[in-house]
Amino acid sequence: MPTPSGLPKIVLAAEATGGGVGRHVLDLAEGLPARGFDVLLVHARRRTGEGFAERIARHREFGYRLATFDVERAPGARDLPATVQLRRAIRGFGNADVLHGHSSKAGALTRLGRWGRARSVVYTPNAFYTQNPELGRVARGAFGLVEYGLSALTDRIIAVSRDEVEHAVGLGIAPAKLTLIENGIEPWGAAELERMRAATRGRLGLSPHDVVVGFLGRLAAQKAPQVALRVFARLRDARPNLRLVLVGDGPDAESVRASIGELSLGQAVRWIPTALGREMIPAFDVFMLTSRYEGFPYVLLEALNGGCAIVSTRVGGAADCVEDGRNGFLVDAPDAEAIAERVLAITDSPERLRAMRQRSRERAALFSLDRMVDRTADLYRSLNESR
């Protein structure tokens, strides 16, 4: 199965190409060839966002190959043909030493379609759906059984946070099948960060001395943007001098727009529908995450890298990034009043805000992109050596 050059053959498969999943799989696709792997990325045809498309257009620069399969997010009639297409792409690649599925749909299809096409299969959930606190007991049990059953067809599951490891064990997945590899990002130098901060604040009409509280995320139920708006309303009433910025778009955009009107936030909140985290977060002093569940959101890493104090719900990855009371605060649930109180506790003390921002910059060094890719490459090699 090795290539004529002797390079291990890695197939990365992803149905979701937006947000953290798309970013994660592209970071691997771009980083693995330089570490001695022959790489094929198989991605969904239907949900290719602009940012993802721009990055895969440069695939030859990084030395990986591309293929597509016709897959949808929800389970349905397309799953069987999609599995056949995935297997065909792997066969055209010369089969795989490691087949790595990302997120729940591609993770399921890679494990069901592995036979005769891959020596080892790896799965990265990027948040188990069973971590959703709004799932009913029956649905949670059903999805949990699916994850447990598919784990028998999996050589290794990569959890991106300690919370995800604990959740997987709670589903009955054997600890020996789990490997913790946190997400990583390219660090910004101090001078680069200051340039980005000044440029973004200039575009937003903010002064260097303004204290900015920001939310950035997909406007969807998982991220609880309505909670963020209620926090903003509380902050506006308590500290009118704070600058409030909302960045994001998504299926709940219209309800967000309506709530901005109902809460009379139109003059207080600057809403930027489309922007990248690395472009906006350097302008923030305090970043708040109101999510109901996560695997390990990249936005927290960007907040560390951007030198933000962080107030976050206690979701996957939050405890890895936030040392409670040192570079921010953790709250147990997406409760607007509790989050607003923590934000005010930070912004009311310039000394505390300055110290927390500095500690976030120091903590960002723990989560480098090279570390994430290196540890994934080491896992691939160990699986090949064990065969």
| CATH assignment at residue 373 | 3.40.50.2000
Residue 159 within any structural domain of the chain: yes
Q: Distance between CA 41 and CA 59 in Å, rounded?
A: 10
Do both 313 and 272 map to the same domain? Answer: yes
Q: Please count the helices (runs of H) and the strands (runs of E) in the chain.
A: 16, 13
Whether residues 202 and 337 share a domain: the answer is yes
266 within some domain: yes
- Please say if the pLDDT value at position 1 is more than 50: no
- 282 Cβ contact list (under 8 Å, min separation 6): 188, 193, 196, 197, 200, 306, 307
154, two tokens: 């999996």
| CB distance 297 to 291 below 8 Å | yes
Nearest to 251 by CA among 277, 218, 273: 218
Query: Which tokens in the block code for residue 189?
Result: 């130098």
* More confidently predicted of 50 and 173: 173
Whether 216 shows a pLDDT value over 60: the answer reads yes
Q: How far apart are CA 162 and CA 271, in angstroms?
A: 33
- Angle in degrees, CA 202, 190, 215, rounded to 5: 50
Residue 275: its pLDDT value, please?
Answer: 78
> How do 178-180 and 212-216 pair as beta strands?
unpaired
Confidence of residue 222 (pLDDT cuts 50, 70, 90): very high
Given this model, what pLDDT does residue 4 score?
Answer: 45
pLDDT in tens, 345-368: 999 999 999 999 999 999 999 999
Residue 85's beta-bridge partner residues?
none
* In-domain check, residue 79: yes
Sign of CA dihedral 85, 89, 92, 97: negative
Q: Within 10 Å of residue 67's Cβ, how many Cβ atoms?
A: 17
* Per-residue model confidence as pLDDT tens digits over 118-161: 999 999 999 898 988 888 999 999 999 999 999 999 999 999 99
Q: Are residues 153 and 205 in the same domain?
A: no
pLDDT value of position 73 = 73
What gap in Å lies between CA 181 and CA 178, rounded to an integer? 10
Please report, for residues 8, 125, 227, 301, 365, the alpha-carbon distance to residue 20 in angstroms, rounded to integers and kept in the order given.
Answer: 26, 11, 21, 11, 19
326 and 209 in a single domain? The answer is yes
pTM comes to: 0.86
pLDDT tops 60 at residue 3: no
Mean pLDDT score of the chain, rounded to an integer?
A: 93
Q: Report yes or no on 142 lying in a domain.
A: yes
Question: Has residue 80 got a pLDDT over 70?
Answer: yes
What are the residues facing 176 on neighbouring strands?
Answer: none
Same domain, 98 and 28: yes
Residue written as tokens 């379609």?
A: 113
| Co-location of 199 and 130 in the same domain | no
**Same domain, residue pair 240 and 106:** no
Is 218 inside any structural domain? yes
- Give yes or no for residue 2 having a pLDDT over 80: no
Same domain? For 93 and 203 the reply is no
Inside any domain, residue 276? yes
Same domain, 90 and 218: no
Has residue 243 been placed in a domain?
yes
Q: Is residue 2 part of a domain?
A: no
Residues 240, 134 within the same domain:
no
Domain that holds residue 92: 9-184+368-386
**65 pLDDT more than 80:** yes
Indicate if 123 and 196 belong to the same structural domain: no
Q: What would the two tokens of residue 228 be?
A: 């963020």
Distance CA 278, CA 343 (A): 22
Co-location of 229 and 335 in the same domain: yes
Count of domains observed in the chain: 2
| Angle at which helices 19-31 and 369-386 cross, to 10° | 70
